[in-house]
Structure 1
Amino acid sequence: MTSQIKFGTDGWRGIIAKDFTFDNVSVCAQATAAYLKNTSPRNLSLVIGYDTRFASADFARSAAEVMAANGIKVYFCSCPTPTPVISHGVVNLKAAGAVIITASHNPARWNGFKVKSADGASAPTQMITGIEAEIAKLGDKPPVLNLDFDTAVSRGLIEHVDLAPAYFEKIGGLVDIEKLRDAGFNIAIDSMHGAGIGYFKQLLDGGCNRLNEINAEPNPNFPGMLQPEPITPNLAKLMRLVKDIRSDIGLATDGDSDRLGVVDEMGNFLNQLQVFSLLALYMLEVKGLRGPLVKTITNSSMIDKLGELYNVPVFETKVGFKYVSPVMLEQNALIGGEESGGYAFTGHVPERDAILAGAYFLDFMITTGKSPAEMLEYLYSKVGPHYYNRVDYTFAEARREEIIKHLTDQKPASLGETKVVSTDKLDGFRYKLEDGSWLLIRFSGTEPLLRVYAESPSQAKTAALLEDGRQLSGI
């Protein structure tokens, strides 16, 4: 049923064999093909890639067969490929966009259909709306065109490509790779059984570094973790490894390698807001660049303080890189980031790239001579300490309207002993407090979850705000 297909903050995702089926993937591909023919008739070409999830390569082949049958030239990735590498491939090959079969950080039973625009960015709202409209036109018995994969290859409609060499060449123009390779670091790497396997090793090997990569075999079950998301609950193995082998740093990439996780030299996880703020500081201070900073509503108020310190504007968007990317392009921004660990940079595609983010983080360490923990203290010396956390709650879909009504009815004048100075509904229900703390409650755009976020000057206050958020939502 085409009514099952709803695009969220980053493509359409569904449970494999229940919603995410070959038929539904073919419908998405047919709709995407129709959209491209309507909007980009002079450039009917597309990159198609996939991650290491169950049957991702097969789903990608099905999408390619539909595209080829519609007369669209397909550049088909020859192996599981990170999303940022595919995004760069779109620009390098001058394609009209990309389709990527991946559910990113979702649990193993999920898969997804991501769409990229011609600039390699997450498909903007206009593009997604157009594709959804084409899906609606197809109806419940959609006419989907199909051309056998091997036949399409023989006719030149599908071409196998390896996007890695051009990608690494691009990265080499943004950061001094030889400098990174000669740093002499002991680096622990967790590829989380995903598409990023081997990429940090290829980038950093061949010099004085010692590299230790774990979870470096494709495994669609993602054993030992709730989901391939580089956050504390899933990084116990990496954090132990960092301490056991006395690493200088631990780097982790999610299932499709567009999100970065960082573990400091003591085995402590640096949260995503800390990492984004450090990367922004790196761009402003180490690289000496000036330009706008772009953050989602769930990101740190440390970015606002850095904007004030370095006299650069800060732009805020809804959650999702489909909102961040257009602002980055419009404003020629230095960096864009979201709370989930995705960061994009000037001079590159306006899309999350965990590999480049990791390279920049290492360059920050080399240039300053500081460890990750020392870098965090340096950041705090400029903007003050900030403590962030997020709690996710599952809920029955039938309760969605009840939760929204409960939140709408709540109008707290204070949270704890701190006055609420403003509220808004830019993306969920946000409460800003007198001391700079904030609380946000919103529904996930990719999973049936209610997310509660908070940041404040102390860990205790952040914990209290998260409990306030739970009570305000009636969960």
Structure 2
Amino acid sequence: MKFGTSGLRGLATELAGKPATIYATAFARHLLDTGKAEPGDTVLIGRDFRDSSPVIAAACAAALSRAGLQPVDCGTLPTPALALYGLKTGAASLMITGSHIPADRNGIKFYLPSGEIDKHDEAAITALAAEVEAEDFTAPADVEMEHAGERAVAVFFDRNRALLSPGTLSGMTIGVYQHSTVARDLLADVLEQYGATVKRLGRSEDFIPVDTEAVSADTVDKLKRWAREEKLDAIVSADGDGDRPLVADETGTPLRGDLLGLIAAGFLGAKVVVTPVTSNSGIEGAGRHEVVRTRVGSPYVIAGMLDALADGKEGVMGFEANGGLLTASPFLLNGRTLNPLPTRDCFVPILACLERAATSGQALSVVAASYSLPVAAADRLENFPQAHSAALMQHLRASRENLANFLSEIGEVESTSDIDGLRVSLKDGRTIHFRPSGNAPEMRCYVEAESEKAAAALLDKGLQTIRDFAAASP
């Protein structure tokens, strides 16, 4: 088990055993040691629809109870809904989810009463987990829990039904790709509350991993077919735990997550935007906001937002390339204050995009094109051993000659950025970025080019070059 860009992740069969107990116990001790909780305080537990999530949640609940805290079952709900309810009630929380990764894997996201844990908390919990693992203890028994899922969802629904003016989406027909995301029913309810005609699509009782940052060809085919057959103005969805948005235009073509974040920045009237280095390079010139770049992962975006607040900045928000939006400042919308929610949320960017299309009278494809961002694309190699990723990055960073040879059939190196992974600007104006996943056996590649065709070709070539390197490695 290890922490990555957002939470702890590993194989579900492993996490469902002793590790879930160990890390939940370590989290409880961290809360008590730091004064973030007192004995007997409640800790909220939510989960996604993976088959392994109930078992892992039960193990965490029992461990929290044995550590002297009171677990509260919030059931299946979006991660931002759980986090918001924790902020409202002053309770720490755990979300059992693997987000977008395959169903045979799972994870745990940890929240203090003040919000998402940071890298210092991760280090402390990891150290405590090592201590717990060395102890001799039996697996805790199941515990009876209070249920608070309906209350948590109601608080989140109230937040989202105040973002737009009544009837804003009247006249729009919007598809909701429900698959197995915990946001599937809430998304439909919120859109209908604003007057949209909602078509519920693709609901599944089996878990389907949907990566909103690298939408699969199969998913795109579904979106395009639904858009055509149902005559839709847009299709929206989210990843497994509902913190990353997916928005497709009237043709079924997905919009990039960083574009969704940029549209949301305009919708909120943000003055400072914090976003990872993987987000589109055109963001700096696409608005009047200041842009701060970070490493990939919500903890880094949150740290950047907190730094901006410490510097006296106002209107501070952040987003990741996957579209998950975070707010650090209060924003005034329709005469009501939208309080900060410093964890990824899929609802604000989805509603911001639909509102822009509705109020402008333009198709979403026209709205997207109006930003004139460089064409970007991203994909990943799944089941790519982390040892291969580490070897590749070590090789590329070892010398300028290694990098030049690796990219010899792609282009000449102009400059590089090593904030997270290796981002390479080529002399012809294209960009290619290699980055190992922080907590899964995946290797990601991000590209920017002058056209969709050129971006697709660069992405294909980049992924194949990674494969070739791995095949030639000992």
Deviating above 6 A after TM superposition, structure 1's stretches of 4 or more consecutive aligned residues are 413-418
1:110 correspondence with 2:110: no
In 2, the alpha carbon distance for the partners of 1:129 and 1:435 equals: 42
Unaligned runs of 5+ in 2: 310-314, 331-339
1:321 alignment counterpart = 298
SS at match of 1:451: strand
1:412 correspondence with 2:404: yes
1:38 alignment counterpart = 33
1:366 alignment counterpart = 358
1:447 correspondence with 2:432: no
Amino acid at match of 2:167: K
1:135 correspondence with 2:129: yes
Q: CA deviation at 1:419?
A: 5.4
1:239/1:116 CA distance change after superposition, 3 Å: farther
2:62 alignment counterpart = 65
1:340 correspondence with 2:322: yes
The question of whether the paired residues in 2 share the 8 Å contact of 1:293 and 1:315 is answered with yes
Counterpart of 2:72 (choices 71, 75, 91) is 75
The question of whether the paired residues in 1 share the 8 Å contact of 2:375 and 2:455 is answered with no
Q: Give the TM-score normalised by structure 1.
A: 0.86
* Aligned counterparts, 1:127-276, within 5 A: 127-143=121-137, 146=140, 148-150=142-144, 153=145, 158=146, 160-162=148-150, 163-176=152-165, 178-180=166-168, 183-206=170-193, 208-220=195-207, 222=208, 227-230=209-212, 231-233=215-217, 234-276=219-261
1:391/1:459 CA distance change after superposition, 3 Å: farther
1:55 alignment counterpart = 52
Q: CA deviation at 1:235?
A: 4.0
Amino acid at match of 1:80: T
In 2, the alpha carbon distance for the partners of 1:385 and 1:439 equals: 13
Amino acid at match of 2:197: R
In 1, the alpha carbon distance for the partners of 2:230 and 2:247 equals: 16
1:388 correspondence with 2:374: no
1:428/1:41 CA distance change after superposition, 3 Å: closer
Q: Cα RMSD between the aligned structures? A: 2.6
In 2, the alpha carbon distance for the partners of 1:370 and 1:213 equals: 23
**Matched residue pairs, number?**
443
Q: Give the TM-score normalised by structure 2.
A: 0.86
In 1, the alpha carbon distance for the partners of 2:446 and 2:11 equals: 26
1:21/1:379 CA distance change after superposition, 3 Å: same
The question of whether the paired residues in 1 share the 8 Å contact of 2:161 and 2:193 is answered with no
Q: CA deviation at 1:239?
A: 2.6
1:421 correspondence with 2:414: yes
The question of whether the paired residues in 2 share the 8 Å contact of 1:189 and 1:212 is answered with yes
Unaligned runs of 5+ in 1: none
The question of whether the paired residues in 2 share the 8 Å contact of 1:83 and 1:256 is answered with yes
Q: CA deviation at 1:453?
A: 1.1
1:28/1:83 CA distance change after superposition, 3 Å: same
Amino acid at match of 1:15: L
In 1, the alpha carbon distance for the partners of 2:262 and 2:408 equals: 26
SS at match of 2:370: helix
Moved more, 21-30 or 66-75: 66-75
1:400/1:353 CA distance change after superposition, 3 Å: closer
In 2, the alpha carbon distance for the partners of 1:471 and 1:41 equals: 48
The question of whether the paired residues in 2 share the 8 Å contact of 1:420 and 1:433 is answered with yes
SS at match of 2:94: strand
SS at match of 1:379: coil
Q: CA deviation at 1:15?
A: 1.7
In 1, the alpha carbon distance for the partners of 2:410 and 2:94 equals: 49
